[in-house]
Amino acid sequence: MSTLWVWSAAGRARHGRSSFLFFLAATLLGIAAHAAEVDSGPVPDTIKQRLTACTACHGEQGRATNDGYYPRIAGKPAGYLYNQLHNFREGRRRYPMMTYLVDHLSDAYLQEIAQYFADQHPPYPAPQPFDLSSATRARGEMLVNKGDADKKIPACIACHGSAMTGVQPATPGLLGLPRDYLVGQIGAWKNGARHAVAPDCMAQVVQRLSAEDIGAVAAWLAAQPVPADAAAVAPTSVKLPLACGSVPN
C-alpha cells in the first residue's frame, strides 16, 4: 500500500511539473503574441511612453511599487526630482541602473522628466504597520517634529515642511515612503555613498544621527498616514537651520 502511495505521489509530482511547464510555455507564447501585436503598430511618441523604463521600477505614474525600496516620485517637487536625476548623472548618487538611464540625457530633458512626474498625483497607499516600542515611536516623533538640541539635530519639519509633505521648489515630502527606502537613503548619506550639491545639509545632519535614530525616524515616518490633499507647500520665509546647496536662495 505504501509503495502504491509513493508511486502515486511521484506521478502527481510529474503531472504537476508538466502542468506548470505547459502553463509557462503558454504564458510565454501569449507574451510573444502580444509583443508582436504591439510591434506591428506605431509606438506613440509621448513623454509617458518614453518614460516606461522609469515606471518599470517606480510604478505606474511613479506611485511606487510594494517592494519596499524603490521610492514614490509622483508629486514630488520638480526641482527636487531634477536635482536627483542630475545627481545620478554627475555621480553624486550611485545606482547603476539610474546612471545608465540618465548618463547621456541633457539638462533640458531631465527637467522634462522631472516635471512630468511632479504633475502626477495618484493616491497614496496605506501606511506601513509596525510594532514599534513606545521608546522608538517617541524618539522618531521627537526627531521629526522637534529635533534634538543636545546633538544639534534640527527637526525634519524645519526643512521638509510642517506636514512633512515637502516645500517648493526642491525639498521633498517624506511621508508615503517605505521604511526600507528611508533607512537606505539616510544610511547612504551616513556612509558617504550619497551626496548633494554643496553645502550638503543632509550629509551634515545624518552624521549626528545614531543607527537607532535613523531606524526610529524611518519607522515613524513610514507609519504615518498621508493627508488626502498632500502637496509640497509654497516656499517659507523662515530661515533654514542649515545652508543647503540643493535649495535655491
Cite the annotated binding site for heme c by residue number: 54, 57-58, 98, 156, 159-160, 202
C-alpha 238/C-alpha 161 separation (Å) is 11
Give whole-number Cα distances, 17 to 10, 14, 23, 84, 160, in Å: 11, 5, 10, 46, 53
Going by the annotation, the residues of the binding site are 54, 57-58, 98, 156, 159-160, 202
Q: What are phi and psi of 171, to 5 degrees?
A: -110, 125
C-alpha 62/C-alpha 74 separation (Å) is 5
C-alpha cell at 167: 516645500
